[in-house]
Structure 1
């Protein structure tokens, strides 16, 4: 049986021409949207979402190109731009009756959430980003052999053709590598969930590559334009991340503070898949964020 988020309804919601998102929705109260990372689906929130649904309407979509959501062919570099994916999220919330909502994202979902916060400050009341850096900062700090942990960023940035062909030749080995290595030996991802992630990724190689490729092109251009133009995150922001800065030689909190004046930055030892390895801690931090005044 395919794993689900217990107690949540599954819905399919049109968000753009020819694109619908699959989402799990549960609870009642102020809306909170949770965005998953790579190589996962909305199932990564299966522990956190029910806890927060006690007093919030929690919406857990599969991002465009992932899971059971639509996977349009990349007609150009805008198809999987984070701006486009952020627009999907805002359209999803509106279709479910929410003009304003809190937003949290992990990994790739955190980059979508970041873009939504910059592009839609009137809609996003609170923002949480888990275990990422903003795209320009990510590329700036990747150097030397220590950065080999991010080898996939460079592979997936290559022009269309080679990355898709290589990954399609051994998708379970490729995606399974990250599920195993990034779990830090923790038993956070049960076999049934791991199988669901691999099955979803196996069906989405071109769109996942296109998502990553955008971060080396159009996403970077959008973020640099905002940074140079002084656009900043206006809402309360919480960032939870592993202390990659100790290994790569940067101050993560300082990098984030340049984007988010109202920032709570927390270094944690919960591993990359923190919502699965330490759901109580993640839920507590999200509750603390939601309690902050949004001005």
Structure 2
């Protein structure tokens, strides 16, 4: 299903040998790059992107392995490292003529955005993260029976073969499960958008699993190296997060303060898909961030 963000132009942007991303571009002004989460595509930003395009150049790619972007095989386990995917984002911006840009990500896209901020501090001017913790902290806080909410993290961390077969046998049920349980307002994801997300995910099972598998391996290594070296996010950072820190027994804002010097941490009351459930609140916070 070829749904698009109204008023945006679409193009394929090369980011690496034999890898190009599907990218929606709209508006004019200082650039803002928006990265989607799981199990979604760039379409999750349709409300936020349309608003920001009034005075910004808004760039919405499908991440490598998702949506209509290329889905390279991952023989050595690094093809979907957040470091690799962050380099894709910087390459997209530069291909479109932007050496510096603001960056926001939701869920998986937020992990890519965090890595881009750590690896490319001269390129990322402002950073927003929606409803995740940095990878190292995510694994640290998952323990005991409360970790059952993240069962998919452990499933897709397994060696190649079993996760792909299990998910591939019932992809709509698997991906649809998260669209259902993570949404407080089902109307926020209309039937046609839901169908587009399921179709895109159904066609990307190996690459989605590879993305998650990297977060249980190479991504943790990269975070540990940054933590040991004292590397931090020096740009203004805004974090929007549900109150699942309290539910799981940790201080989410405290975790974030270990990574960001200039931090605004907000707790929101909508579901996980906040750019679709509360786009006005997200835009308000983004505009406040861009003014810092």
- Smaller-chain TM-score range? over 0.9
Which digits, 9 at most, give the CA deviation of each residue in 1:235-292, with x for residues without a partner?
0000000011111110000000110010000010111000000000001100000000
Alpha-carbon distance in 2 for matches of 1:188, 1:146 = 27
What's the counterpart of residue 54 of structure 1? 54
Instruction: State the shift of 1:75 in Å.
Output: 2.0
1:60-91 deviation digits (Å, cap 9, x = unpaired): 00000000000000021110000000000000
Distance across 2 between alignment mates of 1:106 and 1:247: 20
**Which deviations, in whole Å up to 9, do the C-alpha atoms of 1:122-150 show, x marking residues without a partner?**
00000000000011110011012222111
Alignment match, 2:115:
115
Specify every segment of 5 or more residues in structure 2 that has no aligned partner in the other structure, as ranges. Answer: none
Note the C-alpha offset of 1:185. Answer: 4.4
Q: Is the 8 A contact 1:2 1:192 kept in 2?
A: no
Deviations 1:148-205 (A, max 9, x none): 1110000000000000000000000000000011012432100000000000000000
Q: Deviations 1:214-244 (Å, cap 9, x if unpaired)?
A: 0000000000100111000010000000011
The residue that corresponds to 1:174 in the other structure is: 174
Match of 1:255 in 2: 255
Task: Say yes or no: does 1:34 pair with 2:21.
Answer: no
1:281 equivalent in alignment to 2:281: yes
Can you list the C-alpha shifts for 1:4-26, whole angstroms capped at 9, x where unaligned? 10000011000101100001000
Quote the Cα distance in structure 1 between the aligned partners of 2:3 and 2:21. 18
Q: How many residues align?
A: 292
The separation in 2 between residues aligned to 1:224 and 1:114, in whole angstroms, is 14
TM-score of the aligned structures, taking structure 1 as reference length: 0.98
Aligned to 1:265: 265
| Contact persistence 1:13–1:21 (CA under 8 A) | yes
For residue 231 of structure 2, give the secondary structure of its aligned residue in structure 1.
Answer: coil
Counterpart Cα distance in 2 of 1:83 and 1:146: 29
- What does residue 243 of structure 1 align with? 243
Aligned to 2:89: 89
SS state at 2:233 partner: coil
Asked if residue 193 in structure 1 is aligned to residue 193 in structure 2, the reply is yes
User: 5+ residue gaps in structure 1?
Assistant: none
| Paired position in structure 2 for 1:202 | 202
1:23 counterpart residue number: 23
Give SS of 1:104's match.
strand
Q: Are 1:32 and 1:56, in contact at CA under 8 Å, matched by a contact in 2?
A: yes
Paired residue for 1:136?
Answer: 136
RMSD after superposition: 0.7
